[in-house]
Every structure is written in structure tokens, then in C-alpha cells.
């Protein structure tokens, strides 16, 4: 067993490896080449956590608005680096 960040480097020395998506993408491994993907549920796709005292701060509202913007959705869907990612439900709306 290796540290998760070492998975991509170990790939050439093993028959298979479980590699987290962020490490795969950072190492130019296309998610679409995976033998299998984890069945992720929407609450686990992206979690943005802020201190409760900041919940009503403008920067938090800006983050949520940006994440749900049409521009962000178009960027993700048009960028080949994100092929194979589990996308939030609202992307299909």
C-alpha cells in the first residue's frame, strides 16, 4: 500500500492501482481510462466548508453563486480534463 499521492507513480510497477481522481488528473491520467469508478453520491462530490460565523459573508455567497453559474458549468463540460468526473445533479438540468 502506498500513500494516495504515490499511486500514479507506482502505476507502472503494479498491475492495477486505486487512484483518487485529483491525483489522476494532476498526473495526466484520464478518468475515462479507469477500469471502474467509485459510485459517488451527490453530497460527497464537492463540499465547501466555511466557519459558521462566515455563513452570511459575501465571499461565501459569491462561492456558491460561482459554483452554480452557467459559466462554471460550461467550463467544466467543455474541458476535456474533466471527462469522467461525477458531476453534480444540477449540471443535468
pLDDT tens per residue, range 15-33:
888 888 888 888 988 888 8
31 vs 74: CA distance, rounded Å: 19
Residue 69 has a pLDDT of 92
DSSP H/E element including 79: none
pTM above 0.75, yes or no: no
Per-chain mean pLDDT for the chain:
85
Q: What is the pLDDT of residue 71?
A: 95
- Residues 56-60 have a mean pLDDT of 95
Amino acid at each position: 500500500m502506498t500513500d494516495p499521492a504515490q499511486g500514479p507513480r507506482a502505476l507502472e510497477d503494479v498491475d492495477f492501482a486505486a487512484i483518487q481522481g485529483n491525483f489522476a488528473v494532476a498526473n495526466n491520467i484520464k478518468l475515462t481510462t479507469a477500469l471502474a469508478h467509485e459510485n459517488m453520491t451527490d453530497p460527497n462530490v464537492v463540499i465547501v466548508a466555511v466557519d459558521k460565523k462566515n455563513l452570511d459573508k459575501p465571499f461565501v455567497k459569491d462561492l456558491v453563486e460561482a459554483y452554480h453559474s452557467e459559466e462554471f458549468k460550461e467550463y467544466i463540460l467543455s474541458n476535456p480534463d474533466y471527462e469522467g468526473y461525477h458531476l453534480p445533479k444540477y449540471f443535468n438540468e
